[in-house]
Amino acid sequence: MSIADKSRIGIASPHIFPDGKVDMELVRRYVRRAEELGYSSLWTQERITGRPTAIDPVTFLSYIAGQTTTARIGVSVLVLPRHNPIHLAKQMASIDQLSGGRLIVGVGLGGNANDLLQYGIPTERRVRRFVEHIEIMKALWTQTPVRYSGDFYELDNVNIEPKPVQKPHPPLWFGAGVEASLRRAVRYGDGWMGAGSSGRDSFERNLVMIKGLLADEGRTQAEFPISKRIYLAVDDDEARALKRLREWSGYYYGSADLAERVGMWGSAARVQEQLAVWSEAGVDEFLLNPVFDMEMHLEKLAEITGLS
């Protein structure tokens, strides 16, 4: 049995450009070929400020919606407190329309509360702000008109059109890694995303907790997909693969050592074995994230996982 027989295979799209040169022709070729190969989903990330050259995820999703026809498209994740919930609900509904109902909305609280200050947003009570964003977005996607009274937002007879294609709304997949955020994921979300910066031990601990919380809510994993971003480098020269993975991790995360803790590298056979272990651990959908030689990895990973 191939990995693709047990888990859906999604892949990161080229949206980060370490050489500083944005190559949209590469993006176009890549996402179209990904569909041809049978990848289930195409993903981007949110990186607004900082050193990495990265395309804004909302803009990027709009672009790849028009370049593809069948693959789901998603972001992992939008740091929700940075955004205005009305504006974001409108953007996500529009992208769901542009894509014909293929959008997955990944959301998270964000790891650094002080990051909000540069957006003019207070750091206090950011969890409550996060929850209000979720409640408002769901209301705007499903109700006409919306009346909402919260601690931060007051909506009186507010409406957005068009509504999303997907009913009741595009799935919300939560990026969460501690008990409180996992509880919010199960209460408000439609799926869970294991972070690329987390290893298998923490993933498996959190998955046990997720399953228990789902049971408490009368829900099942069949209706609550479990996904995992995995940074990887396929190369028979394992030392070279690790070196390039470390270089990228240092560039994007500011920590080269993170690559060895959470990344996957080596020959096709070694990567295949490791992905099979993750699949057995309970991953419903992989978000495979090569970090260099993107088109080569697109083809190679399709072979490794059994897509082609």
Tell me the per-residue pLDDT of 274-302, one tens digit each, with 9 for 90 and over: 999 999 989 999 999 999 999 999 999 99
Q: Please give the Cα distance from 233 to 103 (Å, whole number).
A: 27
pLDDT beyond 90 at 101: yes
Tell me the per-residue pLDDT of 130-151, one tens digit each, with 9 for 90 and over: 999 999 999 999 999 999 999 9
Asked whether the beta carbons of 275 and 5 are under 8 A apart, the reply is: no
The confidence score (pLDDT) of residue 22 equals: 98
Tell me the per-residue pLDDT of 173-212, one tens digit each, with 9 for 90 and over: 999 989 999 999 999 999 999 988 888 888 999 999 999 9
**All residues at 6 or more sequence positions from 108 whose CB lies less than 8 Å from its CB, including other chains:** 77, 78, 79, 80, 174, 175, 176, 181
The confidence score (pLDDT) of residue 85 equals: 98
**Which pair of structure tokens corresponds to residue 257?**
């050592």
CB hemisphere CA count around 105 (13 angstroms): 30
Phi-psi region of 189 (alpha: psi -120 to 50; beta: other; left: phi over 0): beta
The percent helix, strand, coil of the chain (3-state, each to 5) is 50, 20, 35
The confidence score (pLDDT) of residue 198 equals: 83
Total structural domains within the chain: 1
The confidence score (pLDDT) of residue 221 equals: 87
Residue-range definition of the domain harbouring residue 179: 3-305
Tell me the per-residue pLDDT of 11-49, one tens digit each, with 9 for 90 and over: 999 999 999 999 999 999 999 999 999 999 999 999 999
Q: Is 95 exposed, middle or buried (0-12, 13-18, 19+ CB in 10 A)?
A: buried
Query: At 228, which CATH number?
Result: 3.20.20.30
User: Mean pLDDT throughout 217-234?
Assistant: 94
CA angle 255, 122, 177 (to 5 degrees): 45
The confidence score (pLDDT) of residue 308 equals: 84
Residue whose entry in the numeric block shows the structure tokens 């651990």: 281
The confidence score (pLDDT) of residue 1 equals: 82
Q: Please give the Cα distance from 104 to 109 (Å, whole number).
A: 17
Q: Enter the pTM of the model.
A: 0.96
CA angle 112, 121, 163 (to 5 degrees): 100
Mean pLDDT over the full length of the chain? 96
The confidence score (pLDDT) of residue 197 equals: 83
